[in-house]
Amino acid sequence: MSTDTPTAPTPVTSGPAAPRWTTHRELQAWIEEVVVLTTPDAVHVCEGSEAERAALTDALVGSRTLTRLTAKPDSFLAWSDPTDVARVEDRTFICSVEEKDAGPTNNWMAPDEMKAVLTDLFRGCMTGRTLYVVPFVMGSLDAEHPMFGVELTDSAYVVASMGIMTRSGTEVLDALERTQARYVPCLHSVGMPLADGVEDVPWPSNPTKYIVQFPEERAVWSFGSGYGGNALLGKKCYALRIASAMARDEGWLAEHMLILKLTSPQQETHYIAAAFPSACGKTNLAMLEPTLPGWTVQTLGDDIAWLRFGDDGRLWASNPEAGLFGVAPGTGWDTNPNAMRTIAQGHSLFTNVALTDDGDVWWEGMTDEPPAHLTDWHGESWTPDSDGPSSHPNSRFCTPIAQCPVLAPEYDDPRGVPISAILFGGRRRTTVPLVTEARDWAHGVFMGATLSSETTAASTGQTGVVRRDPMAMLPFIGYDAGDYMGHWLDMGKGADASRLPRVFYVNWFRRAGATGDGPFLWPGFGENGRVLKWVVDRLEGRAAARDTAVGRVPTYGGIDTTGLDIDEETMAAALRVDHDEWARELPRLQEWFDSLGTTLPSTLRQELEVLRSRLVG
């Protein structure tokens, strides 16, 4: 029980009288079941206290999983096994009862079949380890229906990370017990039992990995990985894959979006949600420092938004997470000073970045000049002359969002905030203009449904390949992709169009040259505030737009470039709608839609025909 001596795990006694870990009947039964299956040496119900965190991190330093950073308070560095560094999309499954409900974009296996496979893998997998019980809630504990989860894991690193990324511990367990509420069971193991004579390693994992969602049962099973989105099950597995299926059934949206609050010099405020694929700058935009005088951005979230209609007919967004799990490389005092200030306060966990000689972290892009000497993420001595980068391209910082100096006070409001605009964006070196406004909701859904981006290191596999990533949700849609697009259209159908968020498509990554091999056309980072200004000017009815084949783009001079060193030709190139480039895009869009099968809404096919006729007449 959470009220017992906190940090001592309870040894598991064999025989029929299982210890009582909780008064929540279903949870007690589930823990008993998992104990029998996985045979841990001990069970520890996490209370989420500072003393518990200190004991856990001490133990992780002892087992060489973590290195204590002497330069930042209560901060640690983990180096993972080099084979366990990113989400594994090819090992991720949506095990719906019927195959068609997983759709063509997900891996599928029948739930019974998958349960059999996993049960074999989980049998005895926690031998020699402690089973941790992490009660957590995604979003506010004060919500009308708090979104509970419980992760059972044999990884203390996961416990420490979940403590940062979610609201968790005794308070949550108390609420669960009081109400006997339902929760999403999230079972996790690194998959490396310590049978007699087996010695532990700093980063235990298993070459066989399964990240499995059961959408009807609302359950997650994850085996073999200790890394981020594979293992911190409240995040991608629950708050996106399982929650998207809940949202379809209940009439809301679970999206891969940052949430920011933008205030103009006239003190107008607008809340904006933005969906970009992993490692395309969501964290940077969420805590942007606009270069334009008088404009401010405050942060509400950097990765996940849950959107529901309010009584006022507007779409309200809240961030279900309590922490940031940001891509480290490229994060620096120039590119994202607020992220640097957030981690400077400590209480953070870093994974696969480099260690400085004075007990701090460093990664590519943190400072212009690399330190003269580092220990790289492989634990090897590193100098600027060394071959590879010091940090893995998908290395991460995990830090409490409450430490962000520009956190909006509304972050904690269980109602969320009313969204004025949704931005979709990807990483495209050609074709896609800096900013385009959708003509209406259906056109906005078409923009999201056809979003494309060059792949990044956030997932294993080749990087730099253009792939369609609908609403930046390709790896996270917990059901059929065509049905998902249909759900987006339905959300707009019942709504008062004047209260729906306006939809925009942005591309910070367009480059010069016919094949996009030249320099970036747009400086990005703090200058992206200029694009946000255009969005607000559109919302406030202050900016004109050019109607083009692909949507509304800024008129000449529409983007405020005051004080920015960019010539007219470059600005025009960043905003250009090139019919030849778009004509080459058409067959790819057709192919993408064809790949989605019969559930693709006819409205989206019609949108494609409208685009085709506008482009080729």
Q: Which residue in 403, 455, 507, 528 binds Na ion (CB under 5 A)?
A: 455
- Residue closer to Na ion by CB (options 393, 470) is 393
Q: Out of 46, 95, 280, 398, which one is annotated catalytic?
A: 280
Cα 187 from Cα 161, distance rounded (Å): 16
CA distance 235 to 229: 6
* Distance between CA atoms of residues 372 and 385, nearest Å: 9
Q: How far is the CB of 475 from ligand PEP (least distance, A)?
A: 8
Query: Is residue 453 a contact residue for Mn ion (CB under 5 A)?
Result: no
CA dihedral 473, 477, 480, 485 (to 10 degrees): -40
Q: Would the annotation count 278 as a binding residue?
A: yes
CA dihedral 513→514→517→518, nearest 10 degrees, is 0
Q: How many CA atoms lie within 13 A of 402 on its CB side?
A: 10
| Beta strands 184-189 and 253-255, pairing class | unpaired
Q: Output 325 or 350, the one with its CB closest to ligand PEP.
A: 325
87 binds ligand PEP (CB under 6 A): yes
DSSP letter at 350 equals E
Task: Supply the DSSP symbol for 90.
Answer: G
Stretches 71-79, 199-207, 228-236, 447-455: which one binds ligand PEP (CB under 6 A)? 228-236
- The DSSP string of 299-327 is EEESS-EEEEE-TTS-EEEE---SEEEEE
Name the residue among 65, 76, 122 with its Cα closest to residue 355. Answer: 76
Map the footprint of ligand PEP across residues 261-280, applying CB under 6 A: 278
356 among annotated binding-site residues = no
The answer to whether 284 is annotated as binding is yes
280 is catalytic: yes
Judge whether 97 and 114 are in contact, CB under 8 Å.
no
Residue 52 makes CB contacts below 8 A (sequence gap 6+) with 6, 7, 46
Would the annotation count 394 as a binding residue? Answer: yes
Q: Give the one residue of 229, 478, 526, 554 binding ligand PEP; rule: CB under 6 A.
A: 229
Report residue 345 as tokens. 């306060």
Please give the structure tokens belonging to residue 408. Answer: 């909006």
Partner that binds at residue 455, options Na ion, Mn ion, ligand PEP, none, CB closer than 5 to 8 Å by kind? Na ion
Q: Which of 224, 219, 202, 209 is nearest to 78 (CA)?
A: 202
Q: Which is nearer to ligand PEP, 256 or 261 (CB)?
A: 256
Using CA atoms, how far apart are residues 336 and 17, in angstroms rounded to an integer?
54
Nearest to 554 by CA among 571, 529, 578, 579: 571
Pick 186 or 577: Cβ nearer ligand PEP? 186
Looking at the DSSP bridge assignments, the partners of residue 168 are: 136
- DSSP assignment of 511-533 equals BSSTTS-S-BSS--GGGGHHHHH
To the nearest whole angstrom, how small is the minimum distance from the Cβ of residue 325 to Mn ion?
Answer: 8
517 CB neighbour count, 10 Å cutoff: 10
Q: Does 453 bind Na ion (CB under 5 A)?
A: no
CB of 80 or CB of 278, closer to ligand PEP: 278
Residue 376 contact among Na ion, Mn ion, ligand PEP, none, beta carbon within 5 to 8 Å by kind: none
Query: Is residue 466 at the binding interface for Na ion, with CB under 5 A as the rule?
Result: no
Closer residue to Na ion, CB minimum distance, 24 or 87: 87
> Shortest Cβ distance from residue 154 to Mn ion (Å)?
25
Q: Which of 426, 404, 434 is nearest to 534 (CA)?
A: 434
Taking contact as CB under 5 A, which single stretch among the options 115-123, 302-310, 312-320, 440-448 is the one that binds Mn ion? Answer: 302-310
Q: Using CB under 6 A as the criterion, what x/- string covers residues 363-402 for binding ligand PEP?
A: ----------------------------------------
Which of 161, 170, 213, 278 contacts Mn ion by CB under 5 A?
278
470 lies in the site for ligand PEP, by CB under 6 A: no
- Is 280 annotated in some ligand binding site? yes
Taking the least distance from each CB to Mn ion, the nearer of 52 and 321 is 321
Query: Among 35-43, 148-156, 296-304, 530-538, which window interacts with Mn ion (CB under 5 A)?
Result: 296-304
308 backbone dihedrals φ, ψ, rounded to 5°: -135, 150
Q: Which does 235 bind (CB under 5 to 8 A by kind): ligand PEP, Na ion, Mn ion, none?
A: ligand PEP
Among 48, 103, 228, 478, which residue sits at the site for ligand PEP (rule: CB under 6 A)?
Answer: 228
Instruction: State how far the alpha carbon of 457 is from the alpha carbons of 127, 437, 465, in Å.
Output: 33, 29, 11
Q: Tell me the binding residues.
A: 87, 227-229, 236, 256, 278-284, 303, 394-396, 427, 525-528
Which residues of the shown chain bind Mn ion in the complex (CB under 5 A)? Answer: 278, 303
Query: Which residue numbers are catalytic?
Result: 280
Which residues of the shown chain bind Na ion in the complex (CB under 5 A)? Answer: 455, 459, 461, 463
Which residues of the shown chain bind ligand PEP in the complex (CB under 6 A)? Answer: 86-87, 228-229, 235-236, 278, 325, 458
Q: Tell me the binding residues for substrate.
A: 87, 227-229, 278, 394-396
